[in-house]
């Protein structure tokens, strides 16, 4: 399929997102440079709520928007993203999850960088209004990350990502069997085969109607997330991209980080139960 020059295909996997999907689509509609967007691919991944009805109504009410709607059996976020990637027409691909929002200037800021620096294949951005650190190293401007950087700190978040669609020919697609850490598993391939840039500026809001440490969020699967991170690290090591000593340093670091999160979660649960008792 021929790519459309300098245009972006937006891919949104949707699963039981009736409470958020309208706001998500609105955040695309409000982009200051919407003209860079050639299509919005909404993939309903087997939702059982009113997501489909809301999306269809939104399309009818905003017929001027280039929204293409697809419905498929549930296969997970990676399956839905792959579905969209196989149908995307744009030269660039951007992801947006169905419970995240783009800041109005998101596409404008990133496309300005990508068009000024044609060598950039992968570009991510931030989701917090605070300085960005990789361990003790502070990142203040556009930054070309190394594979060690990504091992030290898994970044960026998926709704901030924009990358050249042509890279798919070399890298393939998301691993649909991996359910946790699958995004970094895919993104680290860009760093190895192409390049990996990061802009430390908040351009997205993640989980805007969800407690990030809540029972319904990904952090309720801390063990699975930890194991996914270890899998990603092991693959990079087995492929010879990091040393044995660095690999084991990171294994220890990840274990300590996991223990810290478990303790924080335990304290949070205790406080929550205490409030309920009162």
- Do 200 and 223 fall into the same domain? no
- Do 109 and 157 fall into the same domain? yes
Which CATH number do you get for residue 117?
3.90.550.10
Distance of CA 78 to the CA centre of its chain: 11
Q: What is the pLDDT of residue 214?
A: 39
**Token duo for residue 73:** 């059996």
pLDDT at 133 over 50: yes
pLDDT at 247 over 60: yes
- Do 200 and 110 fall into the same domain? yes
Any domain includes 72: yes
Please state the rounded mean pLDDT for residues 156-171. Answer: 98
The strand pairing partners of 138, in sequence order, are: 133
pLDDT in tens, 62-100: 999 999 999 999 999 999 999 999 999 999 999 999 999
Q: What is the pLDDT of residue 230?
A: 97
Sheet with 162-164, edge to edge strand ranges: 67-72, 37-45, 4-14, 90-95, 162-164, 122-126, 197-202, 143-144
For residue 132, report the phi and psi dihedrals to the nearest 5 degrees.
-105, 130
Please state the rounded mean pLDDT for residues 146-174. Answer: 97
- Do 61 and 123 fall into the same domain? yes
Any domain includes 212: no
User: 205, 238, 268 — which closes off a domain?
Assistant: 205
**Pairwise CA distance, residues 84 & 14, whole Å:** 12
Q: What is the pLDDT of residue 278?
A: 45
Q: What is the pLDDT of residue 63?
A: 96
- Do 195 and 225 fall into the same domain? no
Position 216 confidence tier, pLDDT thresholds 50, 70, 90: very low
CB-based contacts of 204, cutoff 8 Å, min separation 6: 100, 101, 102, 103, 106, 125, 126, 127, 157, 159, 160
User: 161, 184, 205 — which closes off a domain?
Assistant: 205
Q: What domain range is 54 assigned to?
A: 4-205
CB-based contacts of 267, cutoff 8 Å, min separation 6: none
Sign of CA dihedral 240, 243, 248, 252: negative
Any domain includes 60: yes
pLDDT at 213 over 60: no
**Token duo for residue 242:** 């990091």
Q: Are 218 and 211 in contact (CB under 8 A)?
A: no
Please state the rounded mean pLDDT for residues 212-225. Answer: 61
Please state the rounded mean pLDDT for residues 128-149. Answer: 96
Is the peptide bond preceding residue 164 cis, with omega within 30 degrees of 0? no
Q: What is the pLDDT of residue 191?
A: 98
End-to-end alpha-carbon separation of the chain, Å? 61
Please give the model's pTM, rounded to 2 decimal places.
0.91
- Do 150 and 60 fall into the same domain? yes
Domain count for the chain, please give it.
2
Of residues 85, 72, 103, the one with CA closest to residue 8: 85
- Do 18 and 149 fall into the same domain? yes
Burial (CB count <10 Å: 0-12, 13-18, 19+), residue 120: buried
DSSP structural state of residue 204: E
Q: What is the pLDDT of residue 218?
A: 47
User: 205, 240, 256 — which closes off a domain?
Assistant: 205
Any domain includes 213: no
- Do 246 and 153 fall into the same domain? no
- Do 127 and 239 fall into the same domain? no
pLDDT at 212 over 80: no
- Do 99 and 224 fall into the same domain? no
Any domain includes 145: yes
- Do 247 and 197 fall into the same domain? no
Position 271 confidence tier, pLDDT thresholds 50, 70, 90: confident
């Amino acid at each position: 399929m021929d790519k459309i020059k300098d245009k972006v295909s937006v891919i949104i996997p949707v699963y039981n997102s009736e409470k958020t999907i309208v706001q998500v689509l609105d955040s695309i509609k409000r982009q200051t440079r919407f003209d860079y967007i050639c299509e919005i691919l909404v993939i309903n991944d087997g939702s059982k709520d009113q997501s489909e009805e809301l999306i269809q109504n939104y399309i009818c009410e905003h017929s001027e928007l280039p929204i293409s709607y697809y419905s498929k059996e549930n296969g997970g976020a990676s399956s839905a993203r792959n579905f969209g990637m196989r149908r995307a027409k744009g030269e660039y691909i951007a992801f947006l999850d169905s419970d995240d929002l783009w800041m109005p200037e998101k596409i404008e800021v990133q496309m300005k960088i990508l068009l000024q620096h044609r060598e950039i294949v992968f570009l991510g951005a931030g989701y917090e209004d605070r300085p960005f650190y990789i361990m003790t190293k502070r990142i203040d401007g556009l930054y070309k990350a190394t594979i060690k950087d990504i091992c030290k700190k898994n970044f960026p978040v998926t709704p901030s990502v924009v990358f050249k669609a042509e890279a798919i020919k070399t890298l393939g697609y998301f691993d649909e069997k991996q359910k946790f850490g699958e995004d970094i598993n895919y993104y680290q391939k860009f760093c190895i085969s192409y390049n990996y840039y990061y802009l430390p500026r908040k351009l997205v809001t993640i989980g805007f109607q969800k407690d990030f440490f809540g029972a319904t969020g990904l952090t309720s699967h801390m063990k699975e997330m930890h194991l996914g991170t270890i899998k990603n690290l092991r693959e990079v090591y087995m492929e010879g991209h990091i040393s044995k000593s660095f690999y084991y340093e990171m294994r220890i670091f990840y274990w300590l980080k996991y223990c810290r999160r478990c303790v924080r979660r335990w304290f949070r649960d205790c406080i929550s139960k205490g409030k309920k008792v009162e």
